[in-house]
Structure 1
Amino acid sequence: MKLIATFLLSITLLVCQEIPNARQHYIDASKSQKNTDEFYSLMENYNKDNKVLLAYKGASIALKARYTKQIKQKKSFFIEGVKLLEDALKNDPNNLEIRLIRLSIQENTPKILNYKNNIDEDKRLLLSSFYKQNQSLKEYIKNYILQSTGFTDKEKKSILN
């Protein structure tokens, strides 16, 4: 019994270390192709069950599309990444981190890709559930909201109180 508890604790600690690492790589990926490639390399072989990490994997694939030259491959990467992200969200619909990932992609996706349908829904959930999250996730969400042009000044002030 102790062996099982130790094993489960080890897995939990590993996932807890992986998520902050994925968060930072995701933030950095928006800054350059090199960072996007590093994020993609970090996430491409992830095949476990953690829905947040699967959402980051989807985001890494979708971001890879930004720097792909061929239109067909660009579309393929984007669709594959979004599908993985949406599947993660379908399995954990109230997860604010997954909602934030989707929102950040939808806010920064060209209109022609027609992937902007959930912006208001995700914003609403992020703002209404913000104070129920752990400190680390609140800080991450706050940093995104404050730099986003998709949130009003009033919405930004609501998370600073």
Structure 2
Amino acid sequence: MLLTFLSFFYTVFAVQETNIPALRQLFYEARDNDDKAELLFKQIGNYEGREGILVAYKAGAYALKAKHGANPLNKLKNIKKATRYFSEAVQLDPDNLEIRFMRYAVEDQTPGSLGYSEHVAEDKKLLLDGLALYPKSGFTPETARIARDYLQQYCKCSEQEKQILQQVKL
């Protein structure tokens, strides 16, 4: 019983100590920086709690390990873990647009031949719908900007979708 209490206490304390904006910035910077990717993994890779957004950042950390890794087998193992943790994060908090954006960005950049891009269309639709309703959609200003900019740069969007993105005012 004491072990259960201590585990619960640690999880609650760890969540309170986690700085989501700092993780968000680190995740963004780690995309093109091995050292930042390793730092992100050290900060969140061992997270064992049930907070959806933190599980999503854990998934993102594994995805970045896959991206920056040299060993093809380890890359595959890490993208599988990322996929599993993203699924868990979405189950924990299915309406969180930041989680959906992170999963979309990772799956969108994962080679389709690997079979780990099954949610791209679903997440893209949710993101576009959320951006169309911004600021009443649940996006924070920062995540709305990041999602809009990412979609404008990388999305294979229809003309109608491009118009939605152009109309998002932050």
Say whether the fold is shared (TM-score over 0.5): yes
Whether the 8 Å CA contact 2:60–2:102 is kept in 1: the answer is yes
* C-alpha contact (below 8 Å) 2:62/2:82 kept by paired residues: yes
Q: Percent identity of the aligned residues?
A: 25
Between 137-146 and 67-76, the greater mean CA deviation after superposition: 137-146
1:3 corresponds to: none
**What is the alpha-carbon distance in structure 2 between the residues aligned to residue 85 and residue 103 of structure 1?**
10
Q: What root-mean-square deviation, in Å, do the aligned CA atoms of Structure 1 and Structure 2 show?
A: 2.6
Structure 1 ranges of 4+ moved more than 3 A: 149-152
**CA deviation vs aligned residue, 1:63-98 (integer Å, no higher than 9, x gap):** 101222222222111111210111111222121111
Query: How many pairs align?
Result: 152
C-alpha contact (below 8 Å) 1:146/1:156 kept by paired residues = yes
2:16 maps to which of 11, 14, 17 = 14
Q: Give the whole-Å Cα distance in 1 for the aligned partners of 2:43 and 2:169.
A: 33
For 1:153 and 1:51, the matched residues in 2 are separated by: 29
Q: Compare 134-143 and 62-71 and name the one that shifted more.
A: 134-143
C-alpha displacement at 1:44, in angstroms?
A: 1.4
State the alpha-carbon separation in 1 of the partners of residues 130 and 58 from structure 2: 24
- What is the CA deviation profile of residues 110-138 of structure 1, one whole-angstrom value per residue up to 9, with x for unaligned ones? 12212222222111111212312233432
Q: 1:87 to 1:144 in 2, by over 3 A?
A: same
2:149 equivalent in structure 1: 143
Larger CA deviation: 127-136 vs 46-55: 127-136
Rounded Cα–Cα distance in structure 1 between residues aligned with 2:147 and 2:70: 32
Where does residue 157 of structure 1 map in the other structure? 166
Unpaired segments ≥5 residues, structure 1: 1-9
User: Taking structure 1 as the reference length, what is the TM-score of the superposition?
Assistant: 0.80
Report the AA paired with residue 16 of structure 2. Answer: L
State the AA in 2 paired with 1:157.
Q
Shift of 1:58: 0.8
